[in-house]
Amino acid sequence: MSIQRLHPGPRMSQAVIHGDTVYLAGQVAESAGDTEGQTREILATIDGILAEAGTDKSRILSATVYLTDIAEFAAMNRAWEAWVDPANPPARATVQAQLAAPRYKVEIVVVAAR
Amino acid sequence: MSIQRLHPGPRMSQAVIHGDTVYLAGQVAESAGDTEGQTREILATIDGILAEAGTDKSRILSATVYLTDIAEFAAMNRAWEAWVDPANPPARATVQAQLAAPRYKVEIVVVAAR
Amino acid sequence: MSIQRLHPGPRMSQAVIHGDTVYLAGQVAESAGDTEGQTREILATIDGILAEAGTDKSRILSATVYLTDIAEFAAMNRAWEAWVDPANPPARATVQAQLAAPRYKVEIVVVAAR
Protein backbone atom coordinates (compact mmCIF):
# COMPACT_ATOMS: atom_id res chain seq x y z
CA MET A 1 0.00 0.00 0.00
CA SER A 2 1.41 3.39 -0.95
CA ILE A 3 2.69 5.93 1.59
CA GLN A 4 2.50 9.68 0.97
CA ARG A 5 4.00 12.29 3.29
CA LEU A 6 2.76 15.89 3.60
CA HIS A 7 5.15 18.67 4.63
CA PRO A 8 8.09 16.42 5.46
CA GLY A 9 10.81 18.13 7.51
CA PRO A 10 14.10 16.96 9.05
CA ARG A 11 12.22 15.64 12.10
CA MET A 12 8.70 14.70 11.04
CA SER A 13 6.00 15.02 8.45
CA GLN A 14 2.84 16.95 9.23
CA ALA A 15 0.79 14.03 7.89
CA VAL A 16 1.44 10.55 6.53
CA ILE A 17 -1.13 8.86 4.29
CA HIS A 18 -1.13 5.06 4.19
CA GLY A 19 -3.77 3.66 1.90
CA ASP A 20 -6.93 5.34 3.17
CA THR A 21 -5.68 6.15 6.66
CA VAL A 22 -4.11 9.53 7.47
CA TYR A 23 -1.87 10.02 10.51
CA LEU A 24 -1.31 13.63 11.57
CA ALA A 25 1.59 14.91 13.64
CA GLY A 26 0.72 16.51 16.97
CA GLN A 27 -0.54 19.98 16.14
CA VAL A 28 0.11 23.01 18.33
CA ALA A 29 -0.83 26.70 18.11
CA GLU A 30 1.74 29.37 17.36
CA SER A 31 -0.34 32.14 18.95
CA ALA A 32 0.09 33.03 22.62
CA GLY A 33 -3.66 32.65 23.25
CA ASP A 34 -5.49 30.86 26.01
CA THR A 35 -6.47 27.19 25.86
CA GLU A 36 -9.74 27.84 24.05
CA GLY A 37 -8.07 30.10 21.48
CA GLN A 38 -5.16 27.73 20.93
CA THR A 39 -7.59 24.82 20.51
CA ARG A 40 -9.52 26.80 17.88
CA GLU A 41 -6.28 27.57 16.05
CA ILE A 42 -5.14 23.94 16.18
CA LEU A 43 -8.47 22.67 14.87
CA ALA A 44 -8.27 25.11 11.95
CA THR A 45 -4.76 23.82 11.22
CA ILE A 46 -6.08 20.26 11.31
CA ASP A 47 -8.85 21.23 8.86
CA GLY A 48 -6.18 22.51 6.50
CA ILE A 49 -3.99 19.41 6.70
CA LEU A 50 -6.98 17.10 6.29
CA ALA A 51 -8.00 19.06 3.18
CA GLU A 52 -4.51 18.60 1.73
CA ALA A 53 -4.85 14.88 2.45
CA GLY A 54 -8.13 14.78 0.55
CA THR A 55 -10.39 14.39 3.56
CA ASP A 56 -12.14 16.44 6.27
CA LYS A 57 -13.21 16.44 9.91
CA SER A 58 -16.26 14.27 9.21
CA ARG A 59 -13.85 11.38 8.63
CA ILE A 60 -11.66 11.68 11.74
CA LEU A 61 -11.35 8.29 13.41
CA SER A 62 -9.56 9.11 16.66
CA ALA A 63 -8.11 12.10 18.48
CA THR A 64 -5.71 12.44 21.38
CA VAL A 65 -5.78 15.78 23.19
CA TYR A 66 -2.90 16.76 25.48
CA LEU A 67 -3.55 19.69 27.84
CA THR A 68 -0.79 21.23 29.94
CA ASP A 69 -3.43 21.96 32.59
CA ILE A 70 -6.30 19.49 32.79
CA ALA A 71 -8.30 22.22 34.60
CA GLU A 72 -8.65 23.72 31.11
CA PHE A 73 -10.69 20.68 29.98
CA ALA A 74 -13.92 22.72 29.72
CA ALA A 75 -12.19 25.52 27.78
CA MET A 76 -10.78 23.02 25.29
CA ASN A 77 -14.17 21.39 24.96
CA ARG A 78 -15.88 24.70 24.13
CA ALA A 79 -13.67 25.05 21.07
CA TRP A 80 -13.88 21.33 20.30
CA GLU A 81 -17.68 21.09 20.44
CA ALA A 82 -18.07 24.23 18.30
CA TRP A 83 -15.87 22.56 15.68
CA VAL A 84 -16.50 18.82 15.70
CA ASP A 85 -18.92 17.40 13.13
CA PRO A 86 -21.88 16.53 15.40
CA ALA A 87 -22.93 13.73 13.05
CA ASN A 88 -19.44 12.23 12.98
CA PRO A 89 -17.54 12.63 16.25
CA PRO A 90 -14.26 10.69 16.54
CA ALA A 91 -13.14 8.45 19.37
CA ARG A 92 -11.15 10.72 21.70
CA ALA A 93 -8.90 10.65 24.77
CA THR A 94 -7.76 13.72 26.72
CA VAL A 95 -4.91 13.69 29.23
CA GLN A 96 -2.63 16.21 30.92
CA ALA A 97 0.95 16.47 29.65
CA GLN A 98 3.59 19.14 29.46
CA LEU A 99 4.48 20.01 25.87
CA ALA A 100 7.61 20.87 23.90
CA ALA A 101 7.46 24.63 24.52
CA PRO A 102 5.99 26.46 27.52
CA ARG A 103 3.74 28.61 25.30
CA TYR A 104 1.88 25.53 24.08
CA LYS A 105 -1.24 24.84 26.14
CA VAL A 106 -2.75 22.17 23.89
CA GLU A 107 -1.52 19.58 21.41
CA ILE A 108 -3.88 17.44 19.32
CA VAL A 109 -3.12 14.28 17.35
CA VAL A 110 -5.69 12.87 14.94
CA VAL A 111 -6.00 9.80 12.74
CA ALA A 112 -8.48 10.14 9.87
CA ALA A 113 -9.85 8.16 6.98
CA ARG A 114 -9.91 9.53 3.50
CA MET B 1 -13.92 2.31 3.13
CA SER B 2 -16.98 2.72 5.31
CA ILE B 3 -16.94 4.41 8.74
CA GLN B 4 -19.34 3.42 11.51
CA ARG B 5 -19.60 5.20 14.85
CA LEU B 6 -20.81 3.61 18.10
CA HIS B 7 -22.45 5.73 20.80
CA PRO B 8 -21.78 9.09 19.16
CA GLY B 9 -22.24 12.08 21.49
CA PRO B 10 -21.72 15.83 21.14
CA ARG B 11 -18.02 15.44 21.85
CA MET B 12 -16.93 11.99 20.76
CA SER B 13 -17.98 8.48 19.81
CA GLN B 14 -17.17 5.57 22.08
CA ALA B 15 -15.82 3.67 19.06
CA VAL B 16 -15.23 4.32 15.38
CA ILE B 17 -14.99 1.42 12.94
CA HIS B 18 -13.02 2.00 9.74
CA GLY B 19 -12.95 -1.04 7.50
CA ASP B 20 -11.69 -3.73 9.83
CA THR B 21 -9.98 -1.44 12.35
CA VAL B 22 -11.81 -0.26 15.49
CA TYR B 23 -10.66 2.83 17.40
CA LEU B 24 -12.03 3.16 20.94
CA ALA B 25 -12.31 6.37 22.92
CA GLY B 26 -10.32 6.55 26.15
CA GLN B 27 -12.31 4.52 28.68
CA VAL B 28 -12.54 5.44 32.35
CA ALA B 29 -14.31 3.91 35.35
CA GLU B 30 -17.31 5.55 36.96
CA SER B 31 -16.78 3.79 40.30
CA ALA B 32 -14.68 5.38 43.03
CA GLY B 33 -12.53 2.24 43.36
CA ASP B 34 -8.79 1.86 43.54
CA THR B 35 -6.56 1.48 40.49
CA GLU B 36 -6.98 -2.28 40.27
CA GLY B 37 -10.77 -2.05 40.60
CA GLN B 38 -11.04 0.79 38.11
CA THR B 39 -8.86 -1.12 35.65
CA ARG B 40 -11.12 -4.16 35.98
CA GLU B 41 -14.19 -2.00 35.37
CA ILE B 42 -12.60 -0.32 32.33
CA LEU B 43 -11.58 -3.65 30.82
CA ALA B 44 -15.15 -4.92 31.21
CA THR B 45 -16.39 -1.77 29.46
CA ILE B 46 -13.90 -2.36 26.66
CA ASP B 47 -15.16 -5.96 26.32
CA GLY B 48 -18.68 -4.59 25.86
CA ILE B 49 -17.71 -2.01 23.24
CA LEU B 50 -15.61 -4.53 21.34
CA ALA B 51 -18.59 -6.93 21.31
CA GLU B 52 -20.79 -4.18 19.85
CA ALA B 53 -18.13 -3.62 17.21
CA GLY B 54 -18.21 -7.32 16.32
CA THR B 55 -14.86 -8.22 17.83
CA ASP B 56 -13.25 -9.15 21.15
CA LYS B 57 -10.10 -8.81 23.26
CA SER B 58 -8.27 -11.51 21.29
CA ARG B 59 -8.10 -9.06 18.39
CA ILE B 60 -6.78 -5.96 20.19
CA LEU B 61 -3.84 -4.52 18.29
CA SER B 62 -2.56 -1.82 20.63
CA ALA B 63 -3.38 -0.30 24.00
CA THR B 64 -2.32 2.91 25.71
CA VAL B 65 -2.72 2.97 29.49
CA TYR B 66 -2.67 6.29 31.35
CA LEU B 67 -2.21 6.09 35.13
CA THR B 68 -2.54 9.15 37.36
CA ASP B 69 0.08 7.58 39.62
CA ILE B 70 2.68 5.41 37.92
CA ALA B 71 3.36 3.81 41.32
CA GLU B 72 0.09 1.97 40.67
CA PHE B 73 1.66 0.18 37.69
CA ALA B 74 1.64 -3.21 39.48
CA ALA B 75 -1.98 -2.78 40.60
CA MET B 76 -3.06 -1.99 37.05
CA ASN B 77 -1.10 -4.98 35.75
CA ARG B 78 -2.83 -7.36 38.16
CA ALA B 79 -6.18 -6.52 36.59
CA TRP B 80 -4.67 -6.41 33.10
CA GLU B 81 -2.96 -9.80 33.27
CA ALA B 82 -6.08 -11.44 34.72
CA TRP B 83 -8.01 -10.11 31.71
CA VAL B 84 -5.73 -10.08 28.68
CA ASP B 85 -5.96 -13.01 26.27
CA PRO B 86 -2.63 -14.76 27.02
CA ALA B 87 -2.48 -16.14 23.48
CA ASN B 88 -3.10 -12.73 21.93
CA PRO B 89 -1.62 -9.85 23.92
CA PRO B 90 -1.65 -6.42 22.23
CA ALA B 91 1.22 -3.99 21.86
CA ARG B 92 0.97 -1.67 24.87
CA ALA B 93 2.43 1.52 26.35
CA THR B 94 1.80 2.79 29.89
CA VAL B 95 2.57 6.33 31.03
CA GLN B 96 1.59 8.61 33.87
CA ALA B 97 -0.89 11.40 33.12
CA GLN B 98 -3.51 13.33 35.03
CA LEU B 99 -7.00 12.68 33.69
CA ALA B 100 -10.17 14.69 33.08
CA ALA B 101 -11.65 14.18 36.55
CA PRO B 102 -9.80 13.64 39.84
CA ARG B 103 -11.74 10.42 40.57
CA TYR B 104 -10.27 8.76 37.48
CA LYS B 105 -7.14 6.76 38.29
CA VAL B 106 -6.79 4.98 34.94
CA GLU B 107 -7.76 5.61 31.32
CA ILE B 108 -7.25 3.02 28.58
CA VAL B 109 -7.35 3.51 24.81
CA VAL B 110 -7.37 0.49 22.50
CA VAL B 111 -7.27 -0.10 18.77
CA ALA B 112 -8.60 -3.48 17.65
CA ALA B 113 -9.16 -5.47 14.50
CA ARG B 114 -12.49 -7.04 13.72
CA MET C 1 -7.34 -9.66 7.83
CA SER C 2 -4.71 -11.74 9.60
CA ILE C 3 -3.07 -10.73 12.90
CA GLN C 4 0.48 -11.74 13.79
CA ARG C 5 2.12 -11.05 17.15
CA LEU C 6 5.87 -10.71 17.71
CA HIS C 7 7.41 -11.56 21.10
CA PRO C 8 4.13 -12.09 22.93
CA GLY C 9 4.44 -12.13 26.71
CA PRO C 10 1.95 -12.41 29.58
CA ARG C 11 1.27 -8.66 29.40
CA MET C 12 1.87 -7.51 25.85
CA SER C 13 3.44 -8.28 22.50
CA GLN C 14 6.38 -6.23 21.27
CA ALA C 15 4.61 -5.78 17.93
CA VAL C 16 1.28 -6.70 16.38
CA ILE C 17 0.91 -6.92 12.61
CA HIS C 18 -2.57 -6.39 11.16
CA GLY C 19 -2.64 -6.65 7.40
CA ASP C 20 0.04 -4.19 6.35
CA THR C 21 0.03 -2.09 9.53
CA VAL C 22 2.46 -2.80 12.38
CA TYR C 23 1.79 -1.55 15.92
CA LEU C 24 4.80 -1.55 18.25
CA ALA C 25 4.67 -1.59 22.03
CA GLY C 26 6.23 1.38 23.81
CA GLN C 27 9.97 0.82 23.68
CA VAL C 28 12.34 1.80 26.48
CA ALA C 29 16.09 1.54 27.02
CA GLU C 30 17.59 -0.88 29.49
CA SER C 31 20.81 1.11 29.84
CA ALA C 32 21.18 3.78 32.51
CA GLY C 33 22.27 6.37 29.93
CA ASP C 34 21.13 9.93 29.43
CA THR C 35 18.18 10.91 27.25
CA GLU C 36 20.19 11.05 24.05
CA GLY C 37 21.81 7.67 24.70
CA GLN C 38 18.52 6.03 25.71
CA THR C 39 16.84 7.45 22.59
CA ARG C 40 19.61 5.98 20.43
CA GLU C 41 19.20 2.60 22.11
CA ILE C 42 15.40 2.68 21.72
CA LEU C 43 15.65 3.59 18.03
CA ALA C 44 18.04 0.65 17.46
CA THR C 45 15.52 -1.63 19.21
CA ILE C 46 12.77 -0.27 16.97
CA ASP C 47 14.93 -0.97 13.90
CA GLY C 48 15.23 -4.58 15.05
CA ILE C 49 11.51 -5.08 15.67
CA LEU C 50 10.61 -3.44 12.35
CA ALA C 51 13.04 -5.80 10.59
CA GLU C 52 11.35 -8.80 12.23
CA ALA C 53 8.02 -7.42 11.01
CA GLY C 54 9.38 -7.22 7.47
CA THR C 55 9.67 -3.45 7.30
CA ASP C 56 12.03 -0.61 8.25
CA LYS C 57 12.17 2.99 9.45
CA SER C 58 11.44 4.38 5.98
CA ARG C 59 7.88 3.09 6.40
CA ILE C 60 7.06 4.44 9.87
CA LEU C 61 3.70 6.22 9.79
CA SER C 62 3.52 7.82 13.22
CA ALA C 63 5.54 8.07 16.41
CA THR C 64 4.69 9.14 19.95
CA VAL C 65 7.65 10.16 22.11
CA TYR C 66 7.26 10.34 25.89
CA LEU C 67 10.00 12.18 27.78
CA THR C 68 10.15 12.21 31.57
CA ASP C 69 11.66 15.70 31.32
CA ILE C 70 10.52 17.79 28.39
CA ALA C 71 13.66 19.92 28.88
CA GLU C 72 15.44 16.98 27.25
CA PHE C 73 13.55 17.63 23.98
CA ALA C 74 16.71 18.80 22.18
CA ALA C 75 18.75 15.82 23.42
CA MET C 76 16.07 13.40 22.19
CA ASN C 77 15.94 15.20 18.86
CA ARG C 78 19.70 14.89 18.34
CA ALA C 79 19.39 11.10 18.44
CA TRP C 80 16.12 11.19 16.48
CA GLU C 81 17.40 13.37 13.63
CA ALA C 82 20.58 11.30 13.29
CA TRP C 83 18.38 8.21 12.88
CA VAL C 84 15.20 9.20 11.06
CA ASP C 85 15.06 8.56 7.30
CA PRO C 86 15.24 12.17 6.03
CA ALA C 87 13.26 11.23 2.92
CA ASN C 88 10.52 9.54 4.94
CA PRO C 89 9.89 11.18 8.32
CA PRO C 90 6.81 9.97 10.22
CA ALA C 91 4.10 12.09 11.81
CA ARG C 92 5.22 12.60 15.42
CA ALA C 93 4.05 13.95 18.78
CA THR C 94 6.26 14.47 21.84
CA VAL C 95 4.93 15.03 25.34
CA GLN C 96 6.22 14.80 28.90
CA ALA C 97 5.14 11.80 30.97
CA GLN C 98 6.57 9.79 33.83
CA LEU C 99 7.29 6.20 32.83
CA ALA C 100 6.99 2.76 34.39
CA ALA C 101 10.45 2.75 36.01
CA PRO C 102 12.48 5.74 37.23
CA ARG C 103 15.50 4.74 35.11
CA TYR C 104 13.49 5.22 31.91
CA LYS C 105 13.94 8.71 30.47
CA VAL C 106 12.25 8.09 27.11
CA GLU C 107 9.59 5.79 25.70
CA ILE C 108 8.71 5.65 22.00
CA VAL C 109 5.67 4.11 20.32
CA VAL C 110 5.57 3.72 16.54
CA VAL C 111 3.05 2.55 13.98
CA ALA C 112 4.55 1.45 10.66
CA ALA C 113 3.49 0.09 7.31
CA ARG C 114 5.04 -2.96 5.83
d(C-alpha A59, C-alpha B16), whole Å: 10
Best mutation site among A6, A7, A13, A114 for testing chain C: the one with the most C CBs within 10 Å? A13
Looking at the predicted complex, does its ipTM rise above 0.85? Answer: yes
What percent of chain B is modeled with pLDDT above 90? 97
DSSP 8-state secondary structure symbol assigned to residue C1: -
Task: Enumerate the residues of chain A whose CB falls inside 8 A of the CB of residue C97.
Answer: 97
pLDDT at B74 over 90: yes
Q: Buried (b) or exposed (e) across C53-74, using 16+ Cβ within 10 A?
A: bebebebbbbbbbbbbebebbe
pLDDT at C61 over 90: yes
Average pLDDT over residues B66-85: 98
The pLDDT of residue B100 is: 97
pLDDT at C99 over 90: yes
Residue C45 pLDDT grade (very low, low, confident, very high; cuts 50, 70, 90) = very high
Min distance C86 CA to chain B CA atoms (Å): 26
The pLDDT of residue A1 is: 84
Residue C3 pLDDT grade (very low, low, confident, very high; cuts 50, 70, 90) = very high
CATH class of A3-113: alpha beta
pLDDT at C55 over 90: yes
Task: Enumerate the residues of chain B whose CB falls inside 8 A of the CB of residue C3.
Answer: 59, 61, 88, 113
Nearest to residue B27, comparing CAs of B49, B59, B51?
Answer: B49
Min distance B2 CA to chain A CA atoms (Å): 9
Mean pLDDT of chain C: 98
Nearest to residue B23, comparing CAs of A21, A107, C105?
Answer: A21
| B92-114 per-position pLDDT tens digit | 999 999 999 999 999 999 999 99
Give, for A36, the enclosing helix (H) or strand (E).
helix A35-52
Q: What is the pTM of this model?
A: 0.98
The answer to whether residue C10 neighbours chain B at the CB level (below 8 Å) is yes
The pLDDT of residue B1 is: 84
Chains touching chain C through at least 3 C-beta pairs below 8 angstroms are A, B
**CB–CB contact C15 B91 (8 Å):** yes
d(C-alpha A98, C-alpha C97), whole Å: 8
Chain C residues 22-41 within an 8 A CB cutoff of chain B: 23-26
| B19-59 per-position pLDDT tens digit | 999 999 999 999 989 999 999 999 999 999 999 999 999 99
SS3 for C50?
A: helix
Best mutation site among B88, B95, B109, B110 for testing chain C: the one with the most C CBs within 10 Å? B95
Best mutation site among C14, C18, C104, C106 for testing chain B: the one with the most B CBs within 10 Å? C18
| A84-103 per-position pLDDT tens digit | 999 999 999 999 999 999 99
The pLDDT of residue C1 is: 84
Min distance B68 CA to chain C CA atoms (Å): 10
Is the CB of residue A13 less than 8 Å from the CB of residue A56? no
Residues of chain A with pLDDT under 70: none
Per-domain boundaries in chain B: 3-113
